[in-house]
Amino acid sequence: MLSPLGLDPNFNVVDENLNKNLQQVVSKEQIDFVIAGVQSGEITDKMMAAQILVDLFKIGLNEQPGSKNELVEDIQGTLKSLKLGLENQFRGMQKAGGNRYVKDPANNFPSIYFNFLGREQKDPNNAYFKYQDHMSEFKLLREIIEQGIMPEMQKLLELHVKVKILQNFLKELDSDVTAATNILNEKQLVNNPDKLKYLPTKQQINAVREIVSFLYTPLAKLSKGKKGLGSVSALLQGAAGTGKTNVVLKMAIQMAGLANNQIFAFGHNDSSSETINKSLGLPTNTIEKFLSDDTTIYDSVRLLIIDEAPGIPTQQQLQIEERVEQINEGRAANDKLRVILAGDPAQITQDGSNRPLAKSLVEFNLAKIITPVTSLYRSDNPAIIDFQDAFRRRVDSPTDRIINVRSTGVNFKTSDETQGMLSGVIGLGGNMKEEIIERLMKLDDAGKGLIVIITNPARVEEYKAFLEANKRKSKQRCCQSGRRIC
C-alpha cells in the first residue's frame, strides 16, 4: 500500500520521486505526525497507519483533479510495461495458464502456482510448501530469495508483486471506505462485547477491512474485463478454526452496516448451511432454497455468503452463477448483489471433483481475493493441527502418519486405569505406540483378532451397545488394564 508513495513497510522514504507525489498534496505536518507515531511505537497498527496516509493522499488528490488524472495515467503506463515484462518472463518458463494469469496477475497467481509444484510440496521448510498456508506472494518471494531456489520464479515474482501493488493502489484510490470510518466502527465493536464475542487478531482485522473495502468499492473498478459469478465475488480463504465466520465475517457485516434481511447465506450442504447461519444469527437457508426461490424475494438482499464454497461441485456453482445473474438483472451498477465465497481451497467436494472454482472459471474472474486467515484458534493441540495439515495437503496418507502429541507421561505397559482415569491428550507419540503393543501382546489370546482399548471402564457397556446396534459380529474385544473384559 505504501510503495506507490515511495515508502517502505516501516514508513521510511525509499523513493524520492514517488514520495514527492505524497508531499505535493499532503502537508508535511500530517505526514510527519503519522510516521512519527509508527516509528515511536505509539501507533502499533501499521496497516491502519498506512490507510490513514493513503486517505490523506486521496483527499489531497480529489482537491486537485488534474494531478489525480496525471497520476493514474502514469500508474497505468507503468502497469502496461510491467505486464509486458511479466508475460515475456512467464512465456519463457513454458508453463500453462499464462493467458488468464497475465490478464489479472493480482488475483490469479494461485492458478499458475500449482504448475510449479514438485517434491518441494512435501518439505515443510520449503517456500512453496509454506505458500499454501499464507498465500502471500510477497512472503513467497522473500523466502525464495532466502533459500536461493527457482531463480526464474524469483524474476517472475519481482514483477508480479510490483503489478499487484499498483493494481491494488488504483482500487484503493477509488474505494469509498476511509480509515476514520473503520477506526470509529472498530472502536464501537471492540467496546461492545454483546456484538463482538471475540477480539480479532491483526490478521483477522486486516481481512475484515478488506471485505468492507470490497463491499464499498465500485464493481466497475474491481471487475473490469471480468464476468460471471467471480466478477461480483470476493474469496475469503482459511482452514477450519481460523475465525473466518465467527470473527471475520461477523465483524465485517457489522462494520459494513448490513441488516439481517440484507444477507443471505448457505453452505455446501445442509449441515454447513445450518452452521453458517447459526453463527451469523440468520435464519437457516440452503443452496436448494436459493436456486428454487422466486428472484423477487431477494430484492432487499445486498450480500450473499457461500460457506465451504470450494466444496461445491462445478455444476452447482454454475447454477448459483446463473441465479446471481438473474438477481442482478436490472439492478444499478452500484446496487449489484455481491458475494463472499468462504472456505478452504483443500475442501473436498461432494462429487469428488478437483478445484471446482477453477473449472467453473470463478477463480479466474474474482473481483477480489481477501488476504487469507491462516492461524488456527479452534484448537491448541499440535496433534490435531498436524493431522489437519497432513489431510489438507494430501501429501501422504494420514493413516500412515505418526502424530506427535502431548503425552500424559503414563507408562502404558504398567498403568492401571481403575486407580485413576487417564487425562490429557493421548496419541501415537514417542514410544507410546510400542508400549501399547507390548502390553497387548502379554494377553493370553493376543493376535487373535482386533483389540479395542477403552481406558474408561464406564464406557465399556456403551461400546458393547454400539456393536450390538450396528450388528457388528467381528472378533473385536475390549481391553482395560491389560485384562480381557469382553
| Residue bearing the bigger pLDDT, 178 or 411 | 178
Spatial CB neighbours of 196, under 8 Å, sequence gap ≥ 6: 189, 190, 250, 251, 254
- Report phi then psi at 94, rounded to 5: 55, 55
Question: What are 136-176's pLDDT values in tens digits?
Answer: 888 889 999 998 888 888 898 999 999 988 988 888 888 88
Question: Which residues are paired to 343 by β-bridges?
Answer: 237
Q: What's the grid cell of residue 417?
A: 486405569
Cell of 33: 505526525
pLDDT > 70 in the chain, percent:
73
What phi-psi label fits residue 361: left (phi over 0), alpha (psi between -120 and 50 degrees) or beta? left
Confidence of residue 353 (pLDDT cuts 50, 70, 90): low
- The pLDDT tens digits of the residues spanning 104-130 come to 787 778 767 766 655 455 676 788 777
CA 120 from centre of chain: 22
Q: How many CB atoms lie within 10 A of CB 278?
A: 12
**Cell numbers of 131, please?**
505458500
pLDDT mean over 419-446: 54
CA angle 57, 60, 64 (to 5 degrees): 130
pLDDT classification of 338: cutoffs 50, 70, 90: very high
The three-point CA angle 276-277-283 to 5° equals 165
Closest CA to 103 of 90, 115, 117, 116: 90
Q: What is the pLDDT confidence band of residue 374, given thresholds at 50, 70 and 90?
A: confident
Residue 436: φ, ψ to 5°: -65, -45
User: How many degrees, rounded to 5, is the angle at CA 153 between CA 149 and CA 158?
Assistant: 110
User: What is the pLDDT at residue 407?
Assistant: 47
Q: Which of 404, 336, 337, 344 is nearest to 374 (CA)?
A: 344
C-alpha grid cell, residue 252: 465485517
Q: What is the pLDDT of residue 264?
A: 95
Q: What is the predicted pLDDT for the residue at 427?
A: 46
| 3-state secondary structure at position 419 | helix
- pLDDT digit string, tens, across residues 232-287: 999 998 877 788 888 899 999 999 989 999 999 999 989 899 999 999 999 989 99
The most confident of the ranges 105-114, 321-330, 405-414 is 321-330
Q: Which of 18-27, 215-224, 261-270, 386-395 has the lowest mean pLDDT?
A: 386-395
365 vs 232: CA distance, rounded Å? 9
If pLDDT is split at 50, 70 and 90, which confidence band does 429 have?
Answer: very low
Of 25 and 96, the structure prediction assigns the larger pLDDT to 25
Q: What is the pLDDT of residue 482?
A: 41
pLDDT of 340 reads: 95
The residue type of 180 is A
Q: Which domains does the chain have, with CATH numbers?
A: 3-63 (no CATH), 176-379 (3.40.50.300), 402-484 (no CATH)
Q: Which of 346, 271, 272, 357 is nearest to 313 (CA)?
A: 357
> d(Cα 328, Cα 324) in Å, to the nearest integer?
6
Q: Which residues pair with 264 in a beta bridge?
A: 304
Per-residue three-class SS string for 328-351: HCCCCHHHCCEEEEEECCCCCCCC
382 pLDDT band (50/70/90 cuts)? low
pLDDT at 252: 92
Which letter does DSSP use for residue 307 in this model?
T
Taking a C-beta distance cutoff of 8 angstroms, is the pair 5, 55 a contact?
Answer: no
pLDDT of the residue at 306: 94
Contact 10, 39 (CB under 8 A): yes
Give residue 184's pLDDT band: very low, low, confident or very high (50, 70, 90). Answer: confident
